[in-house]
Structure 1
């Protein structure tokens, strides 16, 4: 079936002890669109989100951001959330056969494959990213052109947050307040969830800005490029209604005047009182043929 698009199915069952707490609560069907890739064996775990396969290829687990010592400015190899994730990942995938699946951007700038990974074990399949997120071993994220399954990824993360599993029991990964710009600026270059009330929505020719204060020069702002808005018209329409609403924005903190997060996908803006449902993807459908209308991917919408 080389070169053909086919149905890829991932059953959700509890195979690994560290993930067992979340497995019982993440069991309803959901869908997202992926292209199937090769089946290989994992020969090495580099870190909490990077695998080496038996053909020498390196795979980055797109969608599941593992803890790193730099999150807490800790010494390399001495940050418990990082070492626990590496241990759990190694137990789960090392020497196992895995199936890769892709959507959008397939390779990062370092040549690593950006893939959703399904572990094959005794005739069953486990969605690896879902397991890491459901166990509190990672945070949901995406990269430009790599936000496939954002709804499902965030659903798994939300359940782990609710139960305070893994990294979510650690204060380093708490949601940051938008009205503390000095604190946010100290986290520059780190991936954070920031919660606050939007004071105004400003539009320019190139972007739309969610302003969390009247002084955008010093305080926290979220920016959405016009290309993102053009690709997500319903999201674009919803933005003007966000003034005076409390939201959570996730992404990497940058410095542009004050602290800023650049929004590349609607899933980066969440309503805190509307956590995503706790479905797990039991079925991942192939992308439609060339020229056909694409299937909708369920993403968090406001």
Structure 2
């Protein structure tokens, strides 16, 4: 069964790389993610790989990253080593708690030039989540992840850290988890309100990345129009779901990285 063909204008020229090409950005420093100050405090306890409690009782969730791999103990130990017992400053667009009462923030330990998020990424203990609106911050975090990936540190030491679209079963096993997936887009199709980037020919089994039609202009403005990605190798990241085969829905251009070559 095939999806109906995508209608529209001729394909845009394919860009050589996404907005977040890791090789094109410099090292991260404090200014990269130093958004508006949102308070300070001392870390009293590390809760998990992405959150901690301050001495005043506030719970803080690290923005801009997702837990890497399945070993929560490793991530928690890494966060403890970087921020445990340290004085920290919090930065972000606002300090509104999430539904669990946690304040999302970019965090800097006193005396460190890099954010806690950047340090975790550099050690291969986290994944860049691509949900950061600030471009400088996003580029810095992407570069930090890229450095760990190139050096095969932490999660990147495992050959399965990036899922291959030719093995949809491996991707399907990661349902509900934030995952990085790489492969070649074989076709681009439209079905109803959704655009499908198909990485296989059997849509009931193979992996696909999806983009809502209403936000396609955002991707086109970033030279990442869906049709321009056809026959290109790309890397996508996001939460894996299942609608027949495994799926990742793309909400932001930072979730796509175009890899070199056709």
Shorter-normalised TM range: 0.7 to 0.9
User: Which residue of the partner structure matches residue 201 of structure 1?
Assistant: 188
> For each residue in 1:127-162, what CA deviation from the matched residue of structure 2 results, as whole angstroms up to 9, or x when unmatched?
11011101112111145xx55432221110010010
Q: Is the 8 A contact 1:207 1:223 kept in 2?
A: yes
Offset at residue 187 of structure 1 (A): 2.1
1:30, CA displacement in angstroms? 7.3
Matches of 2:257 and 2:196 in 1, distance apart? 16
Contact 1:212 1:219 in 2 (8 A): yes
- Paired with 2:34 and 2:50, the residues of 1 have a C-alpha distance of 21
Q: Paired residue for 2:126?
A: 138
Paired with 1:198 and 1:46, the residues of 2 have a C-alpha distance of 39
C-alpha distance in 1 between matches for 2:127 and 2:139: 13
The DSSP-based 3-state class of the residue aligned with 1:126 is coil
In 2, Cα distance between the equivalents of 1:227 and 1:104? Answer: 27
String of CA shifts for 1:250-276, please: whole Å, max 9, x gaps.
Answer: 1121101211001121111112339xx
Give structure 1 stretches of 5+ with no counterpart. Answer: 1-24, 72-78, 275-302
Q: Secondary structure at the match of 1:56?
A: coil
Following TM superposition, the consecutive aligned residue runs of length 4 or more in structure 1 with deviations greater than 6 angstroms are: none
C-alpha distance in 2, partners of 1:256/1:198? 18
Which sections of structure 2, spanning at least 5 residues, go unmatched? 1-25
Find the partner of 1:240 among 227, 240, 247: 227
TM-superposed CA distance for 1:96, in Å, is 1.6
The reply to whether residue 151 of structure 1 matches residue 167 of structure 2 is no
Aligned to 1:61: 62
**Are the counterparts in 1 of residues 33 and 115 from structure 2 also a CA contact under 8 Å?**
no
Aligned length: 234
TM-score, normalization by structure 1: 0.69
CA apart distance, 1:27 = 5.8
- Cα distance in 2 for residues equivalent to 1:96 and 1:33: 18
Q: Determine the structure 2 residue equivalent to 1:38.
A: 39
TM-score, normalised to structure 2, is 0.78
RMSD: 2.7
How many angstroms does 1:216 deviate by?
A: 2.0
The reply on whether 1:169 has 2:157 as its aligned counterpart is yes
Structure 2 vs 1, CA of residues 98 and 28 (structure 1 numbering), >3 Å: closer, same or farther?
closer
